[in-house]
Structure 1
Amino acid sequence: MGLLSLGTPLDWYESRKHNEHVRDNGISQLINIFAQHQNRDNDKFYWGDEVEYMLVELDDNKKTVKLNIDYDHIIDDLNNSALEVGQKAVQNNVAFHPEYGRYMVEATPLAPFDGNILGHYLEVESNMRMRRFLSQTQLPANIRLLTLTSFPRMGCPGFTSPQAKPIGPASQSLFLPDEIINRHARFPTLTANIRKRRGCKVAINLPMYPDKNTKLLDDSIPDRELFDSDAEYRWASKPGHVYMDSMGFGMGSSCLQMTMQAKNIDEARYLYDALAPVTPLFLALSAAAPIFKGFLVNQDVRWNVISGAVDDRTFVERDLDPFPGYDYFGGLDIDKSVKSHLQKMGGGRGINGDRVFNVYGDTKLATNDGKSVQKIPKSRYASIDNYLVNESEIDKNFNDIYSPINQPVLQKLLKAGFDPIMAKHFAHLFIRDPLVLFSERVDQDNTLENDHFENIQSTNWQTLRFKPPSLYSTADVGDLKNKPGWRVEFRPTEIQLTDFENAAYTSFIILLSKAILRFRPDFYIGISKIDENMDTAHKVDAVTDDKFWYKSFNHWRLDANEFHGYDLSWFDRFINEGNDLEAYKQGYYNEPVHNAELTPDCIKHIPCVNNACKYTMNELINGNDSHPGLLRLIIKLIAIDLVPNTLKHCDSKILALKLERIKHYLMFVSKRASGKVPTIAHFLRSKVLNSPHYHKDSKVSDALNYDLIKLCDGITKLDFENYHDELYEYFGTAVASYVETNREVSFETV
């Protein structure tokens, strides 16, 4: 969760005095990073993942479940090398990190995996199991470590253990107590500073799932007069929607993230671009959040909840009228005379340009530290706004949305030798203000430190993050190969209930990234189409019921014939001796089928715009008779790069076991894409709708919540003895049968 400095955090009204100082020095640090690392090359394809857990307390007597906020100290114990559990963590390549909620634990591999070693794609699952096991040893039996994307009754009365009242000054939430927030000073300060900069509380409205007895009114909103902000719901809440008013509703949810290191900066930029259209697909494919604040909602994912939860934009930046008595400019430091004059003239609304000009002439409207006041179309937590590859045609044709930039930052980067595309990327990130600043970290050595840069970089939470290396001392520069290089972080995926699933999604994205770098496909579509896909990904059952914009199959810059035979059946042909020889006779692998008839998308009447067409998820992942889809790119990569190239069939039992498990990882994602296996969101929604505790009113009661979490716990533990039918429904017959008989396979490294 971002940068965790030690020290005294500054309140927003103190912190904002240093905003330009942080931006200016952050850019100087970035320039120094590029000077130190721009020419590094041939770094290994290392990768890692992040898994976020929730501490869920079950009371089988009262049949209730709550989020436990009293065991957050286990993170310190798990990382303490003086303790046995800390030593085991190091020995098993596991590290633990704090997250936004006291009930949350984040865990990662201590050292990255090597993308060129087949065994490491299997090791991640055993690593995930060890993270869960070690954490669970520090907890009572009734507190379970679950990978839930959202806790169904978060924000309902009494949802924490021990109980806490929603009367905290940091969030001022009507629903969430400040006691859920991590005790590190950064987190409550971040919560309060977002509210103070914005000029009001955050406001999240999710459409209720319409049912027979649904009241299109959020009747959970209390009538309270503790803070002035308590009245905001009158203007901020929407009829027919579930209203949420705190950062915790978003940052208190869990996700799965992966980071890959490229060999150099150019390769990282291309990988970032190629993964951009993939991000909404995997948001939809991993959908796991159909319930918020005790309501069944009419969407399946968490993304827009987090986006709203950290949206620090003021009314003028969002181009909205303020609430009665509120300020257009929120907590921005703007001269009162300018505010007064603008309000008399009707404020600054209706501007759709790079900056808002004041009414005195050509002088730009700016804060007292000199930063332009701009219309900002998106929250800090959103989909990306620009591609990164430095080609004018890509910029002209596909960077097709309004993306405001910080002009002084742009000019400084151009002067330092940055190409225009990279300069615009960082100049866009630096339209934001730093949200948390520690008094002890105001002044830094820009040749050795990069905290000011990371202060802005790490609080732009986008679907992808382009991650430069850190700054190192002269003594360390000679050993850069052992330091993290140019990386891309893939961020949209929702956390899954089991380690098998999380390993499957992780392996799929890492292998796809490696395949992208190997085969160099052209996936460019307009950023506006990716934004549209993000909206589509939120819909109920988007995986099966909707189509997504993607580069026309005819313009992927790949020959479909070269991927012939590399479907899931390749694993069986390769593993089982005899099948492989027959496959060669039939023209699989290296013999292109020149007679294959490729049907142009336009003839198939698929709607296309600028070489972007709409496809089903099944077509995009699994391909069709005329195109490989993403899956076959991965399988060919495995066949030609990760399996010893001297083999025409598998001659090793260990290798066969590894390939079987990877096959089932890919099969599982493939079946989710085809609709043969339900998403978690679909699975949970079905359980709610068919529960005797459900009254067709879109509400999830304590009793229903208990049943759901008990089921999730049983699935997490792969408890086939007690949840056999549910696990077969959840995984599908083929995958469930495999998982049941291969729950904890161990592999030697190839």
Structure 2
Amino acid sequence: MFGKFLRLLTELRFYPKVEYMLVSFDHENKRVRLVLSGEELLETLQEQGERTNPNHPTLWRPEYGSYMIEGTPGQPYGGTMSEFNTVEDNMRKRRKEATSLLKVHQAVCTITSFPRLGCPGFTVPDFKPNPVEGGASKSLFFPDEAINKHPRFSTLTRNIRHRRGEKVVINVPIFKDKNTPSPFLETFPEDDEAAKASKPDHIYMDAMGFGMGNCCLQVTFQACSISEARYLYDQLATICPIVMALSAASPFYRGYVSDIDCRWGVISASVDDRTREERGLEPLKKNNYRISKSRYDSIDSYLSECGEKYNDIDLTIDKEIYQQLLREGIDHLLAQHVAHLFIRDPLTLFEEKIHLDDANESDHFENIQSTNWQTMRFKPPPPNSDIGWRVEFRPMEVQLTDFENSAYVVFVVLLTRVILSYKLDFLIPLSKVDENMKVAQKRDAVLWGMFYFRKDICKGITFSGISRVTLGYKQLLKLLALSSAGGNAVVDGCGKAQNSTELATEEYSLMSVDTIINGKEGVFPGLIPILNSYLENMEVDVDTRCSILNYLKLIKKRASGELMTVARWMREFIANHPDYKQDSVITDEINYSLISKCNEIANELCECPELLGPAFRKVKYSGNFTWDLIHRN
């Protein structure tokens, strides 16, 4: 058992990805705009980085907006605990590397949504949208020049609109402040399509850029086997809405204060290529299926045997592909997963990629796979590669600082270690996960939202003897004793519990984020206490342990409400701005103040205790690094 645990630590790799926006400050006129120079910056970063040195610590990649870039570690992090202490350092170097190539009045920002995206003059150089003639999006607000020049991105934009048969429709509820008009109405006399699509008391948007032009934080994990990857995929799917609420960072859209805190529904609508028939608005004639969700949404089926009984969502599949996969020896659960992906049409296809050897190349599969953007992504190994089975965790909003982004990455990665080593079971009916996703996006969901969560997380455990005591299982049982759901279950196999007494209550109940993360006596032991128990049994150097504990402290305090989410902090900043008229409008000057403050916080030019807690620094005692409070004057 212990040997297997060590193998997990050495083989389970992870790979965090951060997306950045380029902004330009006009200090004289108090304006901040998005800089459309991402392609040029990317070319320089790649030329000075990986093309010159294959071992460069950062890989830079394009993103949807021509004001965006994406950075990832040059090599995935390994399984040793000490590597947790390198995540933040890599992110800091990444930010510094990109910033060094910018002009003095420009900055690299990790903000999820630019508050005035789509407002007149929001880019440098300034371009006007062209909703009438040609173009990819035909947006009233978002110019095609703001789309990355790589043909993939404009082709995606154009083909989503063509396939849908109309522009995408995004309606976000507006936050009703004291002086916000009621009803809040926008008129679009020059565009009949917009006039019909926009809704009262909602912020209307009409282009892919309003979703894909936002930034996020994602982590990919490499598992030891396909079965382990499937198990991890399922378990993390239930965590997605919880972490989304915890990382909420996008309350503003098109110059208005909205009544949501997360981008997920916005980006889902921004790439929704379903026709009216597929959305159930017209009888099926030209199309084959009614499709319940956008291409960008939560998962629709669990993949492991443990999760099969919780697959309570009607799954639309391509039956011909499903039968073909079964004939080739693929099991039912994986076959239906792939057959569900393939109800979607390809959105892009380059001429040189039409005729390929599918036995040795995976481009045709990836063409569909990579345009099914779900909360979790199950990633088979590439052909002729030593890369293993992977899963990608996708719901997190990007945070202002490298410390915050590292904290969320370390929290999720550490959680995967605990899930795999203790064989924890977070599974609930998938329909309840979907309900949680809706709750997670609401304003201040981390404080007021109630989420369905499993009470007995050890019900699916399989273990032999007391060998798990060496891995912290004894401490885990103590924690579970705090929960009335802990019970005396002895478990044999995946989800087949043999209890001394039948459970009188359901397997799950509604819990707050605070209860799920920090625990509540008689209800749930809490994820942070379980992670702390796990850490107590690991050999970790002092510096790494202190770093991890500080990361977990941020998550703990965000969950309890002691610290604000980025979304709540931004709302408070706007509400207290002297120029804000309590009318839900974010002017150029208010936006300038907000992004300037975000940039100062990100670059540690000022403190923000309500967002980050007390300021810490590394200090050296007796030859060892540790953390101590910065003494303020």
- Picking from 98, 107, 110, the partner of 1:147 is 110
Q: Distance in 2 between matches of 1:693 and 1:658?
A: 44
- Picking from 387, 391, 397, the partner of 1:484 is 387
Deviation at 1:216, TM superposition (A): 4.4
CA contact (8 A) 1:147 1:495 kept: yes
Q: Distance in 2 between matches of 1:107 and 1:591?
A: 37
Post-superposition Cα deviations, 1:24-56, rounded to whole Å, max 9, x if no partner, equal xxxxxxxxxxxxxxxxx9981111100000001
In structure 2, the partner of 1:664 is 550
In structure 2, the partner of 1:7 is none
Q: Distance in 2 between matches of 1:600 and 1:510?
A: 26
The question of 1:99 aligning with 2:63 is answered: yes
- Picking from 360, 366, 379, the partner of 1:454 is 366
Deviation at 1:636, TM superposition (A): 2.8
SS at 2:14 equivalent = strand
The question of 1:389 aligning with 2:389 is answered: no
CA contact (8 A) 1:208 1:216 kept: no
SS at 1:50 equivalent = strand
In structure 1, the partner of 2:519 is 623
Give the CA RMSD over aligned residues: 2.8
In structure 1, the partner of 2:252 is 291
- Picking from 570, 573, 585, the partner of 1:684 is 570
Distance 1:592 1:680, change over 3 A: closer
Deviation at 1:67, TM superposition (A): 0.3
Gaps of 5+ in 1: 1-40, 225-229, 321-346, 349-355, 357-364, 473-479, 571-587, 603-607, 644-654
Q: Distance in 1 between matches of 2:217 and 2:18?
A: 5
CA contact (8 A) 1:42 1:263 kept: no
Deviation at 1:511, TM superposition (A): 0.8
Distance 1:589 1:287, change over 3 A: same
Q: Kindly provide the amino acid, as one letter, of the partner of residue 45 in structure 1.
A: L
Q: Kindly provide the amino acid, as one letter, of the partner of residue 132 in structure 1.
A: R
- Picking from 411, 415, 422, the partner of 2:323 is 411
Post-superposition Cα deviations, 1:627-684, rounded to whole Å, max 9, x if no partner, equal 43211332233333453xxxxxxxxxxx212211110000000110111100000000
Q: Distance in 1 between matches of 2:428 and 2:234?
A: 10
Q: Distance in 2 between matches of 1:165 and 1:389?
A: 49
In structure 2, the partner of 1:718 is 604
In structure 2, the partner of 1:468 is 380
In structure 1, the partner of 2:530 is 633
CA contact (8 A) 1:170 1:188 kept: yes
Distance 1:625 1:232, change over 3 A: same
Q: Distance in 1 between matches of 2:46 and 2:476?
A: 53
Deviation at 1:599, TM superposition (A): 2.9
Post-superposition Cα deviations, 1:269-290, rounded to whole Å, max 9, x if no partner, equal 0001111110000110000001
Q: Kindly provide the amino acid, as one letter, of the partner of residue 403 in structure 2.
A: F
Distance 1:595 1:268, change over 3 A: closer
Q: Kindly provide the amino acid, as one letter, of the partner of residue 182 in structure 1.
A: N
Post-superposition Cα deviations, 1:544-586, rounded to whole Å, max 9, x if no partner, equal 1121101124765579xx9xx99xxx9xxxxxxxxxxxxxxxx
SS at 1:316 equivalent = coil
Q: Kindly provide the amino acid, as one letter, of the partner of residue 126 in structure 1.
A: D
Post-superposition Cα deviations, 1:85-138, rounded to whole Å, max 9, x if no partner, equal 5578755511100000000010000111012x1221111111111111111111
CA contact (8 A) 1:202 1:247 kept: yes
Q: Distance in 2 between matches of 1:438 and 1:267?
A: 34
In structure 1, the partner of 2:616 is 738
Q: Distance in 2 between matches of 1:42 and 1:553?
A: 26
Q: Distance in 1 between matches of 2:542 and 2:486?
A: 38
In structure 1, the partner of 2:231 is 270
Distance 1:238 1:592, change over 3 A: closer
SS at 1:599 equivalent = coil
Q: Distance in 1 between matches of 2:441 and 2:234?
A: 22
Deviation at 1:414, TM superposition (A): 0.5
Distance 1:595 1:192, change over 3 A: closer
In structure 2, the partner of 1:188 is 154
Q: Kindly provide the amino acid, as one letter, of the partner of residue 632 in structure 1.
A: P
- Picking from 430, 433, 441, the partner of 1:527 is 430
In structure 2, the partner of 1:440 is 352
CA contact (8 A) 1:307 1:379 kept: yes
- The alignment-based identity, stated in percent, is 43
Deviation at 1:591, TM superposition (A): 10
Q: Kindly provide the amino acid, as one letter, of the partner of residue 513 in structure 1.
A: T
SS at 2:305 equivalent = coil
The 5 Å alignment of 1:359-378 reads 373-378=288-293
Q: Kindly provide the amino acid, as one letter, of the partner of residue 532 in structure 2.
A: I
In structure 1, the partner of 2:507 is 611
Q: Distance in 1 between matches of 2:409 and 2:71?
A: 14
Deviation at 1:596, TM superposition (A): 5.2
In structure 1, the partner of 2:484 is 599
Q: Distance in 1 between matches of 2:162 and 2:254?
A: 24
The question of 1:70 aligning with 2:37 is answered: yes
The question of 1:124 aligning with 2:87 is answered: yes
Deviation at 1:222, TM superposition (A): 4.7
Q: Kindly provide the amino acid, as one letter, of the partner of residue 141 in structure 1.
A: V
In structure 2, the partner of 1:495 is 398
Q: Kindly provide the amino acid, as one letter, of the partner of residue 435 in structure 1.
A: L
Q: Distance in 2 between matches of 1:317 and 1:287?
A: 31
Q: Kindly provide the amino acid, as one letter, of the partner of residue 536 in structure 2.
A: A
Deviation at 1:142, TM superposition (A): 1.0
SS at 1:106 equivalent = strand
Q: Distance in 2 between matches of 1:595 and 1:421?
A: 31
Distance 1:415 1:153, change over 3 A: same
Answer with 286-295 or 690-699: which moved more: 690-699
The question of 1:306 aligning with 2:267 is answered: yes
In structure 1, the partner of 2:449 is 546
The question of 1:163 aligning with 2:126 is answered: yes
In structure 2, the partner of 1:13 is none
Q: Kindly provide the amino acid, as one letter, of the partner of residue 101 in structure 1.
A: G
The 5 Å alignment of 1:638-657 reads 638-643=535-540, 655-657=541-543
SS at 2:237 equivalent = helix
In structure 2, the partner of 1:399 is 311
CA contact (8 A) 1:171 1:191 kept: yes
Q: Distance in 1 between matches of 2:579 and 2:320?
A: 59
Q: Kindly provide the amino acid, as one letter, of the partner of residue 420 in structure 1.
A: H
In structure 2, the partner of 1:112 is 76
Distance 1:139 1:218, change over 3 A: farther
SS at 1:374 equivalent = coil
In structure 2, the partner of 1:14 is none
CA contact (8 A) 1:43 1:262 kept: no
CA contact (8 A) 2:479 2:525 kept: no
Distance 1:385 1:554, change over 3 A: closer
In structure 2, the partner of 1:247 is 208
Distance 1:74 1:593, change over 3 A: closer
When the two structures are superposed, what TM-score results if normalisation uses the length of structure 1?
0.75
Distance 1:460 1:43, change over 3 A: farther
In structure 1, the partner of 2:440 is 537
Distance 1:89 1:691, change over 3 A: farther
- For the pair shown, the structure with the greater C-alpha radius of gyration is 1
Gaps of 5+ in 2: 1-7, 488-503, 627-633
SS at 1:513 equivalent = helix
CA contact (8 A) 2:419 2:425 kept: no
Q: Distance in 2 between matches of 1:174 and 1:221?
A: 12
Q: Kindly provide the amino acid, as one letter, of the partner of residue 701 in structure 1.
A: T
- Please state which structure has a larger fraction of its residues in strand: 2
Q: Kindly provide the amino acid, as one letter, of the partner of residue 290 in structure 2.
A: K
Distance 1:304 1:592, change over 3 A: closer
Q: Distance in 2 between matches of 1:221 and 1:129?
A: 44
